[in-house]
Structure 1
Amino acid sequence: MINYVRTRYEVLEESDTWLRFRMDTDGSRSQQVSVHHVPDDDGEWLEISSPVGWADQVDLRRLLELAGSATVGGVAVVDGVALLKHTVPVEDLSVREEFERPLKLVVAHADSFERELAGTDHF
């Protein structure tokens, strides 16, 4: 998965267990996204997350309402940043259907939520 991301997107930062990269969205906007490898007792997972805004600067209740109508993702606050997150199992992972599709959906929703709630393109 790491090589797949490296060849398609602008990698901003990486470690042994995660990548942070930028994807273009609508118009001149872009969106940061992270993919973390998360081992678990039940197997291995990839967590896709994309920031929506600083948690203290967005309406978190409205974010929960927006995320509730999204096809993928859940909402979390990590280090003061409101995120849209989605997790996929690594076992039998098809790049197109089980990674790329939710990746693009998470990024599109996060960018849309950022635009609506923060009015910026900071992330």
Structure 2
Amino acid sequence: MSTWADLAEYVREEYEVLSEAEDEIRILFDFEHFNEEDERTQVVILVREVLDKQHEWVQIATPIGKAADVDLRALLTEIGHSSIACGAAIMGEHVVLRHSLPLATLDIHEFTEPLALLAGTGDQLEEMFFGGDHY
């Protein structure tokens, strides 16, 4: 990968795109399960960020629930104990997990592995703290 356009092309080929804007792509990350009745998915938002007006980055984020509906201390404590590939933030009304990567030297595995970890962690925390699969 070297640019946002390269990454966007790869994402369109490999994932289910829910929506796309100039610097944002929303995908549906689909987890493989043995039981189709328990199939879970996670919305993941990819955003192009530019650092110092010259370095392209991709921010990977997934919403897990509304900040007003959760004990933030308990949630952040759990993230601190169980997550290696993301941090938490409040964006608008939602708690999101996010991770950022520079695009200039990005190997595709440096994108796909954190994406899967972030989606999986988001799915687990969403179930644990918000009681379902809403995003």
- Tell me the TM-score normalised to structure 2 length: 0.85
Mark the runs of 5 or more structure 2 residues left unpaired by the alignment: 1-6
Q: What count of residue pairs does the alignment treat as equivalent? A: 122
Secondary structure in 1 matching 2:134: coil
CA RMSD of aligned residues (A): 1.2
Check if 1:12 corresponds to 2:18: yes
Q: Which one-letter code corresponds to 1:38 in the other structure?
A: E
Quote the sequence identity (%): 35
Which residue of structure 1 aligns with residue 78 of structure 2? 66
Match of 1:34 in 2: 45
Does the alignment pair 1:82 with 2:95?
A: yes
CA distance in 2, matches of 1:63, 1:108: 15
Gaps in structure 1 of 5+ consecutive residues? none
**Of 104, 110, 117, which residue of structure 1 is paired with 2:122?**
110
Structure 1 or 2, whichever has the larger Rg, is 2
What TM-score do the two structures reach when normalised by structure 1?
Answer: 0.93
- Find the aligned partners of 2:46 and 2:78 in 1 and give their Cα distance: 22
Structure 1 stretches of 4+ with a deviation exceeding 2 A read none
CA distance in 2, matches of 1:59, 1:24: 27
Deviates more, 1:21-30 or 1:76-85: 21-30
TM-superposed deviation, 1:68: 1.1
